[in-house]
Amino acid sequence: MPLPYPSGWFCLALSREVPAGAVVNRRFMGRDVVLYRTRGGVLRVVDAHCPHLGAHLGAGGVVDGEHLVCPFHRFAFDVEGSCVKVPGGAPPEAALARFTVRERGKVVLVWHGHDAAPPAWEPSEIPDGRFTPAASWSTLLTSHPQEVMESFVDYRHQSVVHNVSLREVTPPVEEGPLLRISFSADIRLSVRLATITVEQGVALSGLGLASGEVTLHQIGMTLGIVLMATPVGPWQTRLRVVTTTEAASRADSPRLRKAASMSWSAVAGQALVRTIAHQMGQDARIWNRKRYEPNPRLTSDEDAIGHYRRWARQFYPPDTGPTGTS
């Protein structure tokens, strides 16, 4: 791979995809992992294979109370990963390999580091709409998270690929694993709604997670957009987009106001996610066929891309070699 897997926080699911009692399969960085939630609500992400004789826990494994039970010989594992129960015998000293997991704004994130050390930093908060369940969309790309997230600082492609006028407001600001990007954009929510110019900020939290929130005062609405890129295999990335909306309504009674806001928010959330999905489809045509260019020949107004690439180096082991600095 021209770029290795980066360290950081990566989305494996939306929280609602893993209700209590569920066992869910995912690919993550070339391996199978299993997400499960106990009856008491504890969420865990573990290596998919049982340390006893290697059965796949996502192929018939079940949650029993606070335990995950293997489908092959019914060994039970507690939330620490330890094997604690074996039918008709004493459990061997065995444990499931666990990932460090966080839930932020109804999104499940796992940590990937280049060594066994605990997470070096925490993911930023994710906007969580007060009224609407998040609208979401997802696709699989032949690409890498660094390439996907680079589009936030690639202002030139916005007008060519998306026909969107987007301008840098200030150069990106670096705060360790966070990169704050500010731009102004003309947003068209849907063909029937007017075009609105907004100044928007997006914060990258490593290479796996970007989130931003924008308030449209003219129509009394706050939009939250979360974009997540998860490496599932070599040069394969699962892209997820979650939008949340919060709309004010002018109805007189508080109950009516809330009901009107909820439905208006839901409509706007769906419209927003459709717009983003359309744009990501346009990007995917480029991403899926492009190659990683470690030494891009940038124009004088593309400093943000060089800055982004230098910032991104912190997510790779120091001996990785040049990841592209321009």
Closest approach, Cβ 25 to ligand FES, in A, equals 16
Contact status: 283 vs Fe ion (CB under 5 A): yes
Smallest separation, CB 80 to ligand FES (Å): 17
Q: Given the complex with ligand FES, which of 34 and 226 has the nearer CB atom? A: 34
Which of Fe ion, ligand FES, none has residue 70 at its interface (CB below 5 to 8 Å by kind)?
ligand FES
Binder to Fe ion among 38, 124, 151, 230 (CB under 5 A)? 151
Min dist. Cβ of residue 59 to ligand FES (A): 11
Please identify, using beta-carbon distances, which residue of 185 and 247 lies nearer to Fe ion: 185
Distance CA 279, CA 164 (A): 10
DSSP 171-219: EEEEETTEEEEEEEEEEESSTTSPEEEEEEEEEEETTTEEEEEEEEGGG
Selection from 16, 50, 13, 44 nearest residue 28 by Cα: 13
Radius of gyration over every alpha carbon of the chain, rounded to an integer in angstroms: 22
User: Are 67 and 76 spatial neighbours (Cβ–Cβ below 8 Å)?
Assistant: yes
- Rounded-to-10 torsion of CA 11, 57, 66, 74: 180
Other Cβ atoms less than 10 A from the Cβ of 195: the count is 11
Closer by beta carbon to ligand FES, 71 or else 306? 71
What gap in Å lies between CA 101 and CA 109, rounded to an integer? 6
Q: Which is nearer to Fe ion, 31 or 290 (CB)?
A: 290
75: contact with ligand FES by CB under 6 A: yes
| Closest approach of Fe ion to the CB of residue 249, in Å | 32
Closest CB 282 distance from Fe ion, rounded Å = 7
- Which residue number, 50 or 149, has a Cβ lying nearer to ligand FES? 50
Q: Which residues, at least 6 apart from 153, have a Cβ–Cβ distance to it below 8 Å?
A: 172, 181, 304, 305, 307, 308
H-helix or E-strand spanning residue 281: helix 254-287
Rounded to a whole number of angstroms, the minimum distance from the CB of residue 71 to ligand FES is 7
- Return the residues of window 14-73 that contact ligand FES according to CB under 6 A: 50, 52-55, 70, 72-73
| CB nearer Fe ion, residue 151 or residue 245 | 151
Query: Which residue do the tokens 């929510």 mark?
Result: 189
Is there binding between residue 97 and ligand FES (CB under 6 A)?
no
Instruction: Name the site residues for ligand FES (rule: CB under 6 A).
Output: 50, 52-55, 70, 72-73, 75
Q: Footprint of Fe ion on this chain (CB under 5 A)?
A: 151, 283
